[in-house]
Amino acid sequence: MRIVVLSPRVAPGILTLAAWDALRDASAVRAAVDDPHVRAIVSSGIDVEITADPPTYETDTVWIAPTGDTAWARSIADDLMDGGGAASDIEVVFGSYDLPGSGLLDVVEIMDRLRRECPWTAQQSHETLSHYLLEEAHETLEALDNGDSEHLREELGDLLMQIVFHARIAAEGEGWDIDDVAAGIAEKLVYRNPHVFGDATVTSAGEVDANWQRLKATEKRRASVLEGIPATLPALAYADKVLSRLDGVDISGDDLGARLLALVAEARAQGQDAEEVLRQAVRLLG
């Protein structure tokens, strides 16, 4: 007996060669539910019997596991581990696999349903969500500062939800969606990393950063060094970002602002982030 296991995140009809061979060679193919994967198999010319009866251990029979039904698959696995009945004759054939990142499809699907069926989610806009985006970003940074990997994983999930949420709202009339967001960053990463995806040669991380900044400047064509830098950034981060575009600028003056700016420049020269250094110093006070 063989059990064909399929991923709910892979399009129906896309199966491994091993799965197709198992289905075609079987004397009988059975499934517990009629789902899109089963219908795709039937459309290929293979008869599938839909039955609610528990699997029987017949040598030449193939069972198609209910797509995404982990409880059903677990019950068979328990039987295998217990060695009960003819469990030793069971062969599990993976008909499709989850690729890295496929879990993101679940988030997109859940957000689609929430937008349709949840009254609170349905009434949100980019503007009403803006403070949540800022809050989640700060909570993510806090988890990072605390060195708590599990907390960081959770907060990154909350931050990801905000991205998917905004993209879902945009899909309703702004001409772009989550696929456009992903395509945009993918294109940018390829373009700005020619040492990986092109013919450029680099010998250090510094050269990588210099190439990135050069390509970004060409791409953006800024009219001012301040253009494109969010004025809402914390002051130290804002200063650091501006100085990154003005390497070697002379900082003069003895007022407090000039001295603070000079300290940011000093931190940059030492390869440190002034914002992070100050944050850590303040945390030590507690």
pLDDT tens, residue by residue, 178-205: 999 999 999 999 999 999 999 999 999 9
Q: Using one digit for the tens of pLDDT, what is the confidence trace for 250-285?
A: 888 889 999 999 999 999 889 899 988 998 898 888
Give domain status of residue 135, yes or no. yes
Mean pLDDT within 98-114? 93
Mean pLDDT within 71-80? 66
What pLDDT is recorded for position 209? Answer: 86
Q: pTM of whole model > 0.85?
A: no
Mean pLDDT estimate for the chain: 88
Q: Are residues 114 and 40 in the same domain?
A: no
Give domain status of residue 110, yes or no. yes
Reported as half-sphere exposure (CB side, CA atoms, 13 A), residue 222 has a value of 13
CA–CA separation, 284 and 242 (whole Å): 28
Question: 10 Å Cβ neighbour count for 53?
Answer: 8
Q: Are residues 139 and 72 in the same domain?
A: no
Place of tokens 């253009």: 227
What is the domain range of residue 10? Answer: 2-94
Phi-psi region of 46 (alpha: psi -120 to 50; beta: other; left: phi over 0): beta
Give domain status of residue 207, yes or no. no
pLDDT higher at 141 or 90: 141
Work out the percent of the chain whose per-residue pLDDT is above 90: 55
Residue 19: is its pLDDT beyond 70? yes
What pLDDT is recorded for position 84? Answer: 54
Q: Are residues 50 and 70 in the same domain?
A: yes
Beta carbons of 19 and 4 less than 8 angstroms apart = yes
User: Pick from 67, 65, 60: which is nearest to 89 by CA?
Assistant: 60
Kindly give, in sequence order, each residue whose CB lies less than 8 Å from that of residue 55, ignoring residues fewer than 6 positions away.
1, 3, 30, 63, 76
Give domain status of residue 210, yes or no. no
Work out the percent of the chain whose per-residue pLDDT is above 70: 91
Q: Are residues 50 and 131 in the same domain?
A: no
Q: Are residues 15 and 88 in the same domain?
A: yes
Give domain status of residue 279, yes or no. yes
Give domain status of residue 90, yes or no. yes
Mean pLDDT within 72-95? 68
Highest mean pLDDT pick, 50-64, 147-161, 268-282: 147-161
Give domain status of residue 262, yes or no. yes
- Number of structural domains found in the chain: 3
Give domain status of residue 150, yes or no. yes
